[in-house]
A and B are shown apart, each in its own frame.
Chain A
């Protein structure tokens, strides 16, 4: 178990800067998840930590030691790859013990460690099989076993569940969470799936185009997104994001005009900060923030209804604008083509600048207001 620190870490391939001045402090034992759209540089960042790519600028410190130029195998970490990276010509046991053999461990010790990892992961009956004769989930467990036997100070995972089908993915997600609780090893985990990030992480690092957008605990990111990107990225279905213009109501109170829902006017709460008239902003409202007793109300036409049983997602719109997603718990009667009246509390709105920055105020973004 070890802490891990990135200081102004940058990475360029040729002239292209893929990662820009990344700073991160990982506490010992913490489970950190890098999340972001595909191509944003998550894997590259992980590979920098692993030592598979060279750091262009900045510092990597693990357990208090600068690691920039240390060989990958001497950094005290183990890595699990998306494709599992099992050697096809070796049995499960040989695959798991492979690294230890090259570390010069006596074979009795290797066997003991392999057996204990196999026990933890329920792999005992499979030890003499080759990867070809295993299912996807079993291969995944072998890959994790191979990492465990090295007793690393840091675990690295690069999209380890992406090759599994949906059911197994959920199952393995829980296995990994349990394993982390059991072993308590510092873990850095890469995924593009925000559900995985939300369920596994102690803290999430949201990356976009090589830059950190926000770092925080899952609920922190959900409740308190730093900007439009994080707001849109975390949460499923996505937060509704609509352009709006600052204006005034007939009696002169500050309000927002929302073109996408028929120029509806939403009066702002009294405590709202002063925003100059005519300013273009975005409002954000999560599907579950539509409620029965909000002060703002519109009529929309239902496009599509997704009945999930417990809850219902209604995709509704006004005219030709983009659909708004509404989550309701008693929406079984809704059907496509119906009208729906939606209400929300203006105090639960998130407000963003035209350039995506969050307009923070005690008056907005109170999800439980």
Chain B
């Protein structure tokens, strides 16, 4: 018979035993880097020669047109892309949720399929589809939508449109799956009663479906926003005209914060402190936007 130790202590020791390996790794590869990078954001200098610069990096942010362009681009992307994508995903999910719909499974699988492709792979495939004489411009011309080829790769405006189209392609099905799962958890009799009561279809959607899906809509909004704020793979691979120079798209039109941080760190003469400062701009944006979205969702209650 083992020496009697208190049961509570036995379970407590076991509890630590189970979580310590993960906590150790997270301390080394997560917490330590977070703190280090915060510390670095107050350092200035090039390469490994760094010294304390106080708020110098923050001042530099306000004077750096490239940073401001990257910030504008990043914000532009999620402000336009996230609502388009989520609306599309919700709309598709509601249509697919109809139990009488034929081929629903097949259509759902097809729309979900883009999630299987890696970000880099789909980026290069889009790149090949959107070249000047490529398949997309030809298709648009064939249906008479355009008179000349759209300069997706060389015009800043169209390059941004391309990026938004591409991201929407990749993630709509992903978000749709969340909505579908939530819709399937809704008791159908709620809709049946509403129909018997004569509630019209649009009112059923806005008064019943949307409020019941609120937690999922919030979840997808937050995750999509965080994802878009960290945009890197696509920005660097779809329209990257010249990676060796570190530009992203014509006139840096698809330069995002993450690409800029990468360039600051690994492309030019490294500016670690300043790059860390820019990375904390993303942290602040993520925190701010998540907070705003949670508050908005709560107030609507």
Query: Could you list which residues of chain A lie within 8 angstroms of chain B, going by C-beta atoms?
Result: 51, 53-54, 68-71, 74
**CB-CB nearest in chain A for B10:** A71
Question: Cβ of B2 < 8 Å from any Cβ of A?
Answer: yes
User: Main SS of chain A's interface residues?
Assistant: loop
Set of chain A residues within 8 Å of B65, measured between Cβ atoms: none
Set of chain B residues within 8 Å of A53, measured between Cβ atoms: 7
Question: Cβ of B5 < 8 Å from any Cβ of A?
Answer: yes
Interface size on B, residues (CB 8 A): 8
**CB-CB nearest in chain B for A66:** B4
18 residue pairs bridging A and B, Cβ less than 8 Å apart:
A51-B7, A53-B7, A54-B6, A54-B7, A54-B8, A68-B4, A69-B4, A69-B5, A69-B6, A69-B7, A70-B1, A70-B4, A71-B1, A71-B2, A71-B7, A71-B10, A74-B1, A74-B2
Set of chain A residues within 8 Å of B8, measured between Cβ atoms: 54
A69 to B3, CA, bound (A): 9
Set of chain B residues within 8 Å of A69, measured between Cβ atoms: 4-7
Set of chain B residues within 8 Å of A74, measured between Cβ atoms: 1-2
Least distance between A52 CB and chain B CB atoms (Å): 9
A252 to B251, CA, bound (A): 111
Q: Mark B1-37, 1 if CB is under 8 A from A, else 0.
A: 1101111101000000000000000000000000000
Set of chain A residues within 8 Å of B4, measured between Cβ atoms: 68-70
User: Main SS of chain B's interface residues?
Assistant: loop
A51 to B1, CA, bound (A): 14
Q: Mark B49-79, 1 if CB is under 8 A from A, else 0.
A: 0000000000000000000000000000000
A71 to B10, CA, bound (A): 10
Q: A51-B7, A54-B7, A54-B8 are in contact. List 15 more A-B contacts (CB 8 A).
A: A53-B7, A54-B6, A68-B4, A69-B4, A69-B5, A69-B6, A69-B7, A70-B1, A70-B4, A71-B1, A71-B2, A71-B7, A71-B10, A74-B1, A74-B2
Least distance between B50 CB and chain A CB atoms (Å): 50
Set of chain B residues within 8 Å of A51, measured between Cβ atoms: 7
A354 to B22, CA, bound (A): 60
Least distance between B145 CB and chain A CB atoms (Å): 57
**CB-CB nearest in chain B for A68:** B4
Least distance between A153 CB and chain B CB atoms (Å): 14
**CB-CB nearest in chain A for B5:** A69
**CB-CB nearest in chain A for B8:** A54
A195 to B4, CA, bound (A): 39
Least distance between A7 CB and chain B CB atoms (Å): 17
A219 to B261, CA, bound (A): 82
Least distance between A218 CB and chain B CB atoms (Å): 34
Least distance between B171 CB and chain A CB atoms (Å): 36
Set of chain A residues within 8 Å of B5, measured between Cβ atoms: 69
Q: What 10 A-B pairs are tightest by C-beta distance, nearest first?
A: A69-B4, A54-B7, A54-B8, A74-B1, A69-B6, A70-B4, A71-B2, A69-B5, A69-B7, A51-B7
**CB-CB nearest in chain A for B3:** A69
A68 to B5, CA, bound (A): 10
Set of chain A residues within 8 Å of B7, measured between Cβ atoms: 51, 53-54, 69, 71
A71 to B4, CA, bound (A): 7
A70 to B7, CA, bound (A): 8
Set of chain B residues within 8 Å of A70, measured between Cβ atoms: 1, 4
A69 to B10, CA, bound (A): 10
A54 to B8, CA, bound (A): 7
**CB-CB nearest in chain A for B11:** A54
